[in-house]
Amino acid sequence: MYAQMIKSEASTEDPKQLKEFQAKIDDNIKVEPRDWMPEGYRKTLIRQIGQHAHSEIVGQLPEGNWITRAPTLERKMILLAKVQDEAGHGLYLYAAAETLGVSRDDLTEQLLSGKMKYSSIFNYPTLNWADIGAVGWLVDGAAIMNQVPLQRTSYGPYSRAMIRICKEESFHQRQGYDIMMKMAQGTETQKKMAQDALNRLWYPSLMMFGPSDAESVHSTQNMAWKIKMNTNDELRQKFVDQTVPQAQYLGLTIPDENLTWNEEKGGYDYSDPDWSEFFDVLKGNGPCNVDRLEARNKAWDDGAWVRDGLMAHAEKKRAAKTAAE
Q: Please identify, using beta-carbon distances, which residue of 7 and 182 lies nearer to another protein.
A: 182
| 136 Cβ contact list (under 8 Å, min separation 6) | 82, 172, 173, 174, 175, 176, 177, 179
2, 41, 129, 270: which one binds another protein (CB under 8 A): 129
Residue ranges in 99-140 assigned as alpha helix (H): 104-112, 129-134
256 binds Fe ion (CB under 5 A): no
Assign 174 to helix, strand or coil: helix
Contact residue for another protein among 285, 307, 318, 319 (CB under 8 A)? 307
Binding mask 7-46 for another protein (x = CB under 8 A): ----------------------------------------
Query: CB of 207 within 8 A of CB of 121?
Result: yes
Dist CA 270 CA 19 (whole Å): 40
125: contact with another protein by CB under 8 A: no
| CA pair distance 155, 29, nearest whole angstrom | 9
- In the chain, what is the greatest distance between 2 CA atoms, to the nearest angstrom? 77
CB-facing half-sphere around the CA of 227: CA atoms within 13 A? 29
**Residues forming beta bridges with residue 260, ordered by sequence position:** 269
Give least dist CB 86 to Fe ion, A.
4
Cβ contact 268:261 at 8 Å = yes
- The whole-angstrom separation of Cα 85 and Cα 97 is 18
Q: How many Cβ atoms are within 10 Å of 224's Cβ, its own excluded?
A: 14
As measured in angstroms, the least distance from the Cβ of 129 to another protein is 6
Give the C-alpha separation, 325 to 323, whole Å. 5
- Asked if 316 is part of the footprint of another protein (rule: CB under 8 A), the reply reads yes
Q: Minimum Å distance from CB 175 to Fe ion? A: 9
74 vs 325 by CB, closer to another protein:
74
Examine residue 90 and tell whether it contacts another protein (CB under 8 A).
Answer: yes
**Residue 302's binding partner, choosing from Fe ion, another protein, none, with beta-carbon cut-off 5 to 8 A by kind?**
another protein
- The residue (of 9 and 85) whose beta carbon lies closer to another protein is 85
Measured in degrees and rounded to the nearest 5, phi and psi for residue 72 equal -140, 165
| CA–CA distance, 61 with 298 (Å, rounded to integer) | 13
Contacting residue, 9, 131, 169, 256, with Fe ion by CB under 5 A: 169
Site for another protein contains 95 (CB under 8 A): no
Site string for Fe ion, 42-71 (x = CB under 5 A): --------------x---------------
**Residue of 86, 131, 213, 256 that binds Fe ion (CB under 5 A):** 86
Task: Report the residue from 67, 127, 148, 282 that binds another protein according to the rule CB under 8 A.
Answer: 67
Residue number with CB closer to Fe ion (100 or 135): 135
Residue 252 and residue 198 in contact, taking contact as beta carbons nearer than 8 Å: yes
List of residues contacting Fe ion (CB under 5 A) = 56, 86, 89, 140, 169, 172
Under the rule (CB under 8 A), what is the footprint of another protein?
A: 57, 60-61, 64, 67-77, 80-81, 83-84, 87-88, 90-91, 94, 104, 129, 179, 182, 186-187, 189-190, 295, 298-300, 302-314, 316
